[in-house]
Structure formats: C-alpha cells, structure tokens
Copies of this chain bind each other. A is one copy, B any other.
C-alpha cells in the first residue's frame, strides 16, 4: 500500500507543501524513517531532529511549516493527523462474517450474519451480537449479553451474563467484564457473600486493555460511558461510573461506587478509593493515591519520587524525626524573649 502526499491530504485534510507526487509506503518515527516514509513532529522537544531526518515527508504544525525542507503536511493537530495517517496505511481488517465451526453458540443467541465468531468461542442464551462484530478465539460470552455493531473482542475475553457493550468498542485479550464485585458482609467472624446482581454497561467507542477487569454492580450497574479509554490491567470496582472520554493509563484502579467525571486523565497506577466523586476534567498523576473527592477540575499529584537508597533512608528518618524537630523549635521559642511586635 502506498500513498502520495497529494492522496493523503485528499483523504485526511491538511496542506501539502513540496513534492506531493512521490509514493510513501508507511509511517515511521523521526529517527527511523527512510525516504519512503512519512514521519511527524508533534512534540516541540524533538524539533531539532527534524533537520536530520531521512524521511520522505513529515507532518508538522503551522509553526513548523517553514522549518522543514522535506515535503510536508501542515496540520493544526499533527499528532491526531499522524494517528489517522497510520490508520490509512494500516486499515483494520473488516470482519470475516461467519461462526467458526468449533464455536459453541447457544440456539437462543442472536448473531448478526455480518459478525465474525472465532474458534473456541462460546456464546450464551439470549445474547445478541451485532453486525460487523469480531469475537476472537477463546472468548466466553455469557447469557443475555449485548455487543454493539463493529465492536472487536480480541482473543480470550470474558463477558459475564447480562453485560452490555456498545458499538465500535475494542477489548483486548484477557479482559474480564462483569465478574462479581467484592461485596461481603461480616457475620461474626465469617464473611457472607453479597450476590452481585447488577451488570456492566459499556458505551460506544470504548477501549479496554489487556487483562483489565470491570466488576458488575451489586444491585445497580457499573457504567463506562462513551469514548472511555482504559489501558491494561486496570481494575474497576462495582458500581463505579466513569464519565465519557475519560482515559486511564495502565494499572490504575478505582474502588467501588466511585464516580469519575468526563474528560479526566488518570495516570498509570493511580489508585482511587471507593465512594468518591471526581469532577470533570481532572488529571491525576501517575501512581497518586486519591483518598478524597475532587470537586474542581485541575491536576492532582501524590507521589514521592524515588531517590538513591541512602538519601531515601534519610528522608524517611527525617520524616520520623519531625516530632522531635517540632519540639526543638518549641523549646527555642520558649527560650527567646517574647516578641514585642510583629
């Protein structure tokens, strides 16, 4: 597959500058691109590398329109343009409609004729699989599950009974949607399980990473709104609600009943405890632990950066000696004559 700059801007927009008729065969980074590659400059930090690139063409922002001499595409959003250019060179394979002979689809399930069901997949009674859906090898779809049009489940995804996924979602291998939330009541010294009878409701255009787990609700549903992007190994507790277009990086975790707003960005390995409310447009930095509700948009942090071990040991010791330090200050204050004015 090859495209000229002229063909690319015809499909994706932007302005082509310089040689527009040479064929390009793919997208590559500034450093590794060769003469047949399109590359991109989205982060000004890498601007100096522009001079040295061997790329056949480059996507730049308006500010860099004239910084480059190589053929280029000028776009207001070079990073999004790059995303679309990669998609142009690497189009998603469409569904190959049909149910693999090894799959076990319950007679009471409704599978659209345009859906692709892979080997060793099982689909339970009452489930509805939409048009253009692709379900990879070894997925297990429970009973009464709904999967919207053109959603793709990579291999080995589990969707428990009664959960619903919208259209155009992508779910990566090993994800588990709808396992029981962690609900137990103490009775004496034992735990009584609280049956988890809510489900998981996932909107359209949601992406769910590998081995991520989203628990079903206790009574009401756990809800993932449209356009949410979840990276790998994320844990979403029961009855959580994640607002539309929020993105969470790998290993983040949200405990039960917390509501996260729309357009939030949750850093990798961030931890949000249960029963909180996080406002819209909140950014949480990587590995921070959120213990209180956040009512205002903004950026929140909470991680101590690591340090050489000896230095770190001193930090820990100092922190522990703060009590004594405070006492020494109090002593000094007592020994000083009373201040007259201030």
Contacts and interface: CB of A to CB of B under 8 A. Distances in A.
Interface of A: 27-29, 32, 42, 77, 79-80, 82-84, 86-87, 89-90, 92, 100, 102, 104, 118-120, 122, 136-138, 140, 154-156, 158, 160, 170, 172-174, 176, 179-180, 182-187, 189-195, 197, 207, 209-211, 213, 215, 219-220, 227, 229, 231-233, 235, 237, 245, 247, 249-251, 253, 255, 263, 268-269, 271, 273, 284-292, 298-309, 312-316, 318-323, 325-326, 328-329, 331-333, 335-337, 339
Most B CB within 10 A of own CB, among A32, A170, A253, A306: A306
Given A32-B220, A307-B301, A250 B182 contact: yes
Contacts of A308: 298-301
A102 to B, nearest CB: 6
A326 B229 CA distance: 43
Nearest to A154: B179
A138 B154 contact: no
Contact of A120 (B138, B173, B302): B138
Given A211-B176, A335-B336, A309 B286 contact: no
A176 to B, nearest CB: 4
Contact of A333 (B137, B287, B290, B328): B328
Q: How many copies does the complex hold?
A: 3
Given A140-B138, A303-B289, A306-B302, A197 B86 contact: yes
B333 A176 contact: no
A176 B174 contact: yes
Nearest to A292: B305
A49 to B, nearest CB: 14
A335 B333 CA distance: 10
A194 B83 contact: yes
Nearest to A227: B190
A337 B331 CA distance: 12
A173 B175 CA distance: 9
Given A82-B194, A250-B237, A312-B301, A184 B229 contact: yes
Contact of A313 (B102, B154, B210, B301): B301
A140 B82 CA distance: 31
Contacts of A269: 253, 271, 289
A309 B285 contact: yes
Contacts of A314: 323
A102 B29 CA distance: 42
A182 B232 contact: yes
A275 B77 CA distance: 22
**8 tightest CB-CB pairs across the interface, nearest first?**
A302-B306, A140-B155, A179-B210, A288-B306, A80-B185, A158-B173, A176-B210, A301-B312
